[in-house]
Amino acid sequence: MIRKTRIKRTWLAAAVIASGSLLATALPANAETGVSAREIKLGITLPLTGAASPGYNKIGNAMNAYFKYVNDNGGVYGRKVTLIQKNDEFSPQLAIAKTNELILRDKVFALVGPLGTANFTAVHKSVGLAKRRVPSLFLNTGFSGFSNKKSYPTSFMVLPSYAMEAKIIAQFLKENHAGKKLGIVYQNDEFGIDGLGAFKAAGTKFDVTIPYTSGTQSAATAQTWVSQLAAGGAEVVVMFGVTSATGALLGVSAAAKYAPQWILGSVGSDPVTLRALGVPVAVLNGAQTPAGNPSPNDTSDEYVKQFQEINTEYNPGVAFDDYVLQGMNIGLLTVQALRAAGKNLTRKRLIRAIETKGSKFASVAYSPLGFSRTSNVGHTGYYMAVMDANGDRKPFGGKVTLYTTDSGSGPVVVSTFKRPAMPAKGLPSNS
Amino acid sequence: MRKKIAIFILIGWVLLIIGDRVDELRVYQGAQMAMYTIALASIVLLTGYSGQVSLGNGAMMAVGGYGAALTLNNLGTPIWFAFLMAIVTASLFGALLGAAAARVSGPYLAGTTLALAVGLPAIANQFAFLGGEPGLFFDVGFPPERFGDEFTQYKWFFWIASFIALIALFITSNILSSRFGRTWRAIRGNSLAAELCGVHSSRMKVLAFTVSSGLAGLAGAVLAMTISLVAPGAYGLALSFALVTGAVLAGISSLPGVVLGAIILVFIPEISVALADRLGDADKLNNYLPGLIVSVLLILSVIFTPNGPGENLRKHLHKKPAH
């Protein structure tokens, strides 16, 4: 009898503890989540540590630097923009957990620049971003599946899709490397498969095809890639992977004295990060790559010049590279979107503002933005570039020839689009 | 038995009310708490009762999670069947492992299960049908429309997870009070003496491994539900270590104590965020603080309360009626 009473008492104690801990504070509802009279709270998950972190770990701080610059110059209609960064180590389950923290605990107004195809796919589904109507602005992924506006009504891309990139590379291969033996190393998930599908649709036939699983990239894995590529006699190799995988491939190739013509996908071609990963600059010399933005060293470009100044002051000690440029540009796009949504900021107004005014936003990339009521596609094209002996990127053929296309069966065409000018002092004044 | 049923129904009713009163973050944490409760119960059964140390419960959770996801995605079965298959898959796997584990004990058993915790997620990474590193989706669907628009996805997860946890705890509590529980305790106390009393100790150890793995598999499926995903990274070594810490803090042989252990595990990230905010440089600190807190708690618990603070609390509660 005493034992039963004890059991009952213990279980009840456990229940009371559980109830008490769950009955913690419930915050009162605001007019709009993450927006107050003085602040707009934004969030991002990205790999700050782990195998995929080199390069990507700079994007959040670069965005933050730009927001601090804007805040010091009056903010967005007097509101300070705050960015909360969470480390997802490039793993989908951590991205889900951290996005939950951002939305449920930190109560951010919107996600900005979330990174990684597999991560965002998992986050969107698991957290239910569309159902919650949480805006997800300017995704740092080019998976063409995200351009499905019905499935992703609150998400907006910024990068040209991987399918667009593959179509443009395919055309470049046809025009410049016809008759050569081709090889490709690609990430075996939506990212790489998106590109591979577009290569196939464009009629590109690879003699050596090497998939790799995200997270398995290392010098040891790259040894097997190089062996296969060399054994297959690949003269031109397309690397369609993240920077850490590209770095491993180029580093091992240099050691093995295997030197095909490299064509590096835009995702993994940042020379500063590749050199930081130990890739000799001589290997980068002559590597060809599709590029959307000007070189981060091109100080004649008004965007690059302004962003470099902001980086020096607000992100001191950080080398200005493609990732910093991309992070600051997403910051610039975000501030324009927030301004376009008006003083009475709501999630609904923000989404509508990008749909109706987003295609006119100023952005560092050369190609047009595809935002409209029916499209959440960001930039729509690339130019081909070649790296020089300093690892700097120059337009292939001496001048920027911009190619635009879509993610479907549309043709690759040369575009005469002229991007909007950088707002004065890098501070948008749009409405 | 009736009183126990009444208590469990009462707890379920209280949880339902709480689920309606708290914000979504707490509801989500409630679902996580239910998941940890089941996972810790599996450790209490295995280690606290049958005396076998396992550091690989995270791997068993992975087996259950993948079992449930493959069932749901490939056969299109109802959710309850997917959860059932999580138990069946993990139990079968546990029976196989138990047969091997019955031959070793102490640090050797801990080493064997640790190898499993390290190796299994990495192995899962290599098979395309298991989805590689991105894993497989595990979508239990939206809550029924009759609950209304205000009924969120996470509240739905909380309901399902709490219901499963209550049933799992009720059944486990009954198993532990049955002759099986007594036999396991006898083996833990003195294996030789138990055998002299006619207990087939190896067989009973395998049985404990099987039942414990089934529970861990169920917890794995609940975890998969809360993140809508089964991926190797979700069941890594950190999870196995966190579970061991939770079990020690709860009191390794106290089934009701698992609730306390689950609460601690769920709130460690909260404590970490609060600490990181106070110490500054929150982004960097938050990466390492949860692991540090788990390790410090485990060390402190082993030094000051070897049976766990939960066990001390239980003893304190039990003393009162005697006065």
| A327/B contact by beta carbon, under 8 A | no
Q: Which residues of A touch B3 (CB under 8 A)?
A: 4, 8
- Give B30→chain A minimum CA distance, Å: 7
Q: Which residues of A touch B11 (CB under 8 A)?
A: 11, 15, 18
Q: Which residues of B touch A125 (CB under 8 A)?
A: 137, 139, 228
Helix (H) or strand (E) holding B78: none
Task: Give me the residue label for tokens 């376009």.
Answer: A340
Tens digit of pLDDT for each residue in B290-315?
A: 778 878 888 887 788 776 676 676 67
| B314/A contact by beta carbon, under 8 A | yes
For residue B7, pLDDT over 80 is answered with: yes
**CATH architecture assigned to A39-160+296-379:** 3-Layer(aba) Sandwich (3.40)
| CB-CB under 8 Å, A128 with B139 | no
User: What percentage of chain A exceeds 70 in pLDDT?
Assistant: 93
| CB-CB under 8 Å, B25 with A122 | no
The pTM (predicted TM-score) of the whole model is 0.82
* Class for the domain spanning A162-291: alpha beta
- Give A5→chain B minimum CA distance, Å: 9
User: Residue A154 region, left (φ>0) first, then alpha (ψ -120 to 50), else beta?
Assistant: alpha
Q: Which residues of A touch B139 (CB under 8 A)?
A: 125
| A233/B contact by beta carbon, under 8 A | no
| B199/A contact by beta carbon, under 8 A | no
* SS3 at position A276: helix
How does the average pLDDT of chain B come out, rounded?
A: 84
For residue B321, pLDDT over 60 is answered with: no
Q: Which residues of B touch A188 (CB under 8 A)?
A: 132
Distance CA A252, CA A248 (A): 6
Residue A131 contacts residue A352 (beta carbons within 8 Å): no
For residue A324, pLDDT over 90 is answered with: yes
| CB-CB under 8 Å, B313 with A11 | no
- Give B283→chain A minimum CA distance, Å: 7
Q: Which residues of B touch A99 (CB under 8 A)?
A: none
Kindly report the backbone phi and psi dihedral angles of residue B102, in degrees, each rounded to the nearest multiple of 5, phi listed first.
-65, -20
| CB-CB under 8 Å, B11 with A104 | no
What's residue A28's pLDDT? 39
Q: Tell me which of A22, A82, A191 to substitute to probe the interface with B (most B C-beta atoms closer than 10 Å).
A: A22
Distance CA B57, CA A404 (A): 52
| A83/B contact by beta carbon, under 8 A | no
- Beta-carbon contacts of residue B167 (< 8 Å; ≥ 6 apart): none
What's residue B160's pLDDT? 93
What's residue A150's pLDDT? 92
Chain B residue nearest residue A60, CA to CA:
B283
| A216/B contact by beta carbon, under 8 A | yes
Chain B residue nearest residue A132, CA to CA:
B152
* SS3 at position A341: coil
Chain A residues 17-56 within an 8 A CB cutoff of chain B: 17-19, 21-27, 48-49
- Average pLDDT of span B161-177: 92
Q: Which residues of B touch A18 (CB under 8 A)?
A: 11, 15, 33, 259, 262-263
| CB-CB under 8 Å, B7 with A214 | no
User: B172 - beta bridge partners?
Assistant: none
| CB-CB under 8 Å, B33 with A23 | no
- Distances, alpha carbon A120 to alpha carbons A332, A347, B140, in Å: 22, 19, 19
Distance CA A262, CA A290 (A): 12
Identify which of B23, B126, B318 has the shortest CB distance to residue A6. B318
Cα dihedral: A40, A45, A50, A53 (round 10):
-70
Chain B residues 219-238 within an 8 A CB cutoff of chain A: 227-229, 231, 233-234
| CB-CB under 8 Å, B321 with A2 | yes
Distance CA A28, CA A32 (A): 11
- Average pLDDT of span A42-56: 87
For residue A73, pLDDT over 80 is answered with: yes
User: Residue B76 region, left (φ>0) first, then alpha (ψ -120 to 50), else beta?
Assistant: left
How does the average pLDDT of chain A come out, rounded?
A: 90
- Average pLDDT of span A278-305: 93
Domain-wise residue ranges, chain B: 2-236
| CB-CB under 8 Å, A105 with B229 | no
Amino acid, res. B40: L
Identify which of A19, A89, A122 has the shortest CB distance to residue B134. A122
Task: Give me the residue label for tokens 């900021």.
Answer: A345
- Average pLDDT of span A362-371: 96
| CB-CB under 8 Å, A6 with B321 | yes
User: What percentage of chain B exceeds 90 in pLDDT?
Assistant: 25
- Average pLDDT of span A34-40: 95
For residue B133, pLDDT over 90 is answered with: no
| A220/B contact by beta carbon, under 8 A | no
Tens digit of pLDDT for each residue in A230-265?
A: 999 999 999 999 888 999 999 999 999 999 999 999
Comparing A37-46, B12-21, B156-165, which segment has the lowest mean pLDDT?
B12-21
User: Residue B251 region, left (φ>0) first, then alpha (ψ -120 to 50), else beta?
Assistant: left
Comparing A60-64, B13-17, B29-33, B319-323, which segment has the lowest mean pLDDT?
B319-323
Q: Which residues of A touch B314 (CB under 8 A)?
A: 10
DSSP secondary structure, A94-144, as one string: HHHHHHHIIIIIS--SEEES-B-HHHHHHHIIIIIHHHHT--EEEEB---G
- Beta-carbon contacts of residue A400 (< 8 Å; ≥ 6 apart): A366, A383
Q: What is the ipTM of this complex?
A: 0.77
Range(s) within chain A of domains with CATH label 3.40.50.2300: 39-160+296-379, 162-291
Identify which of A7, A18, A97 has the shortest CB distance to residue B259. A18
Tens digit of pLDDT for each residue in A88-134?
A: 888 888 899 899 989 998 999 999 999 988 899 999 988 889 988 99
For residue A30, pLDDT over 60 is answered with: no
Distance CA A208, CA A123 (A): 33
Chain A residues 144-203 within an 8 A CB cutoff of chain B: 188-189
Tens digit of pLDDT for each residue in B20-63?
A: 888 888 899 999 999 999 999 999 898 888 888 888 888 999 99
| CB-CB under 8 Å, A213 with B133 | yes
Distance CA A407, CA A429 (A): 32
| CB-CB under 8 Å, A23 with B273 | no
| A414/B contact by beta carbon, under 8 A | no
| A227/B contact by beta carbon, under 8 A | no
Cβ neighbour number for residue A297 with a 10 Å cutoff: 18
| CB-CB under 8 Å, A87 with B263 | no
